[in-house]
Chains A and B, each alone.
Chain A
Amino acid sequence: MSIRLAAVTGSGAVSWLITGLSQESRDIEAEIREIRQKRRELITFSWRESLRDELADVIQSCSTAGWDGYDAEPVSAESEIAALQLIESLPEYILSPDVVPEPSGGIALEWRTDDRKHFTLSVSGTSLVYAGVFGGSCKKYGEEPFFDVLPATIVAILTHYFPSA
């Protein structure tokens, strides 16, 4: 019982303890896996949900030309759909980005950290356009095809430079 209670807290040390071969051990292990999966889903759900809310706010605020005080194009329905697809395709366990509208009418997702890492990603047609600086003189930019699945290059950047705490 004490092991089961401790396991619910998600401690790594506890999962090391439960490596028995008995039926009870296996049950406990399965239960831990289920609890952890549910916790993960909850975190991911709230993270994506809040991004969708941010996106809705951006769509509303940027629906007219010149929303940036200059010559910006209004954010289009295509941009909204593309941004939603992009949000859905993001990997788990990364920092939550900010939704940033662009003067071209596109929508970018932007990650930033205190140690001068700055990455921006947006959808343009069937391509993902990205650019970032990662402290010092390390820069990466380019275009990758996007068909609902995030390319490995982008996943690698996000998980390496912007992992969740």
Chain B
Amino acid sequence: MSCLRQLWQFLLTTFLQLDKVPRIVAPDERVTRYIFFHRHVKNGQVSSGAFLPSPKTNDLSVYRTHRCTEKRIWLLGKLFVEGHGKDKGRILARGDLCSAIIFAQGLRIVAVGTPHPRHANVRDWPDDKAQQKMKAVVLAENSSLFFRP
């Protein structure tokens, strides 16, 4: 039974990786940030903490979920975000926002392509902590929260 499940997951992952998305991110695309930590969600809103860049890479990892069904968005999270790296925990929710909001903050969205063609990084974060916070607050304020079904 476990072997069958693994085979099914492998086939599903391979099938999903056939997804084709343009390299350039358009200004009207939906961008999704998956949220693992319960304190990054409060009163039906996403906290700015969920939109701060990684201290290691200074990037914010997101998925381009434009024209994806709800089911596919959660599946991408499960197979390509939760499934990558050890002990990542379980995705609790996600914050969706329009790419134009990110661009308006002077940030870039760069397609990464791995582990899935829809994976992208938000780049060009300033080094100044206060400016970083300001941009994260604007992103959080303009995002919509969705809890995992």
Q: Which residues of A contact B (CB under 8 A)?
A: 58, 61-62, 66-73, 98-105, 108, 110, 112, 116, 118-120, 122, 124, 129-133, 139, 141-143
* Whole-angstrom distance between the Cβ of B66 and the nearest chain A Cβ: 22
Interface majority SS on A: helix, strand, loop or mixed?
strand
Q: Are B39 and A100 in contact (CB under 8 A)?
A: yes
Within 8 A of A (CB), among B36-75: 36-37, 39-40, 42-43, 45, 47-50, 52-57, 61
A145 to B34, CA, bound (A): 34
Complex contact B56–A143 (CB within 8 A):
no
Task: Give residues of chain B (115-149) contacting chain A, Cβ–Cβ below 8 Å.
Answer: 129-131, 133-134, 136-138, 140-141
Question: Across the interface, which residues of B come within 8 angstroms of A131, CB to CB?
Answer: 48, 130-131, 133-134, 136-137
- The answer to whether residues A71 and B54 also contact, given A98-B47, A131-B137 and a CB cut-off of 8 A, is yes
Are B52 and A104 neighbours in the complex by a CB distance under 8 Å? yes
B34 in complex: contacting residue of A66, A69, A102, A105, CB < 8 Å:
A69
* B85, CB-defined interface residue at 8 Å: yes
Is B55 a contact partner of A105 (Cβ separation < 8 A)? yes
**Chain A: minimal CB distance from B82 (Å):** 8
Interface size on B, residues (CB 8 A): 37
Q: Could you tell me if A103 and B52 are in contact, using CB atoms closer than 8 angstroms? A: yes
Chain B contacts of A130 at CB under 8 A?
Answer: 130, 133
Instruction: Enumerate chain B residues within 8 angstroms of A110, measured Cβ to Cβ.
Output: 42, 47-49
* CB of B88 closer than 8 Å to a CB of A: yes
Q: Would B40 and A68 count as touching, CB distance under 8 A?
A: yes
> Is B76 interfacial (CB-CB < 8 Å)?
no
Known contacts A103-B54, A110-B49, A124-B129; 6 additional CB pairs below 8 A are A69-B35, A103-B49, A103-B52, A131-B131, A131-B137, A141-B131
B91 to chain A, nearest CB (A): 7
Which A residues lie within 8 Å of B133 (CB)?
108, 120, 122, 129-131, 141
Residue in chain B with minimal CB distance to A117 = B141
- C-alpha spacing A103/B132, complex, angstroms: 12
Across the A-B interface, give the 4 residue pairs with the lowest CB-CB distance, nearest first. Answer: A69-B36, A131-B133, A131-B134, A141-B134
